[in-house]
Amino acid sequence: MAGQLKEVRNRIKSVQSSQQITKAMKMVSAAKLRRAQDAILQMRPYAKKLQEVLSNIVSNSEGEVGANLAVVRPVEKVLLIVVTSDRGLCGAYNSNIIKLAKATINEKYAAQAAKGNVYIWSIGKKGYEHFAKNNFKVNETYKDIFLSLSFENVQACAQAAVKAFENKEFDAVEIIYSEFKNAATQKFVAEQFLPIPKVQKKQGATKSDFIFEPAKEQLIAELMPKILNTQLYKAVLDAHASEHGARMTAMDKASENANEILRTLRISYNRARQAAITTELTEIVSGAAALQG
């Protein structure tokens, strides 16, 4: 009986120690989430408007300078830029992104995958480790971006993808990431990066008439790379905020589960303790009765 009590006490101490860690991690993630959330909320309207401008310009620039990034070619080789986190303990966050990447390959690029023409650039270690382990063609160049997250580091990845598309190394480029909604909600999306998607014109809509200053060709050549850099940076900031939101939620759930386990263990401990006391009392009474007899 004493051994059973000691075992339950040890389990209670172990759960309490784990709960202290999960609470601390929740507080750290909450602090990081505030900064990451501020960054994406400030970036999102700017990036959205730039993307609208780019799509409108491309839609009205058939055959002109810069429109090569919007040319739709027969898709032979595909690049997926998959944004995961560097660390785990964030619930199903990473597994959902990886699952979406695989679903995108199976549903849209199965023929290319069968020929070995699907390539992955992983931003974040978790994605790289998974795809490397499962024999995908994965590039490790950008997996450590979150160690020093900056526009310049993300820009290097975007520029490399643009250059590869221009050189016809890839015919389609997509970004797989998590779009931040709030601390408890993320939307996992596969977003077309290249060729630049064009605005779907509504029936009867008039053609947009832009006045360009400086020259149209110069403006397009200057704007396109910058807007694409911003688009990828927004996706990375979205993923960064989503990661901390997912980790904060996961640690909160873990702390609640620890409370439930502690409640169950304490009930077990009290029952075992009461049984031990009852046994001792029975032995004392039996001994006293034997002496009297």
Q: What is the C-alpha separation between 112 and 270, in angstroms, rounded?
A: 63
Residues 6+ apart with CB under 8 A from 248: 26, 29, 30, 33, 183
Residue with tokens 């290249």: 194
> Residue 195: is the preceding peptide bond cis (ω within 30°)?
yes
3-state secondary structure (DSSP) of residue 88: coil
Amino acid at 237: L
Dump the DSSP string for 171-231. Answer: SEEEEEEEEEEETTEEEEEEEEEESPPPP-PPTTPPPP-PPPSS-HHHHHHHHHHHHHHHH
Given 15, 57, 90, 239, which residue is catalytic? 90
Distance, in Å, from the CA atom of 222 to the CA atom of 220, rounded to the nearest integer, reads 5
Q: Is there a catalytic annotation at residue 157?
A: no
Return the closest-CA partner of residue 104 out of 90, 117, 123, 118: 118
Query: How many other CB atoms are there within 10 angstroms of residue 172's CB atom?
Result: 22
> What Cα–Cα distance (Å) separates residue 156 from each residue in 145, 150, 229?
10, 10, 8
Active site residues: 90
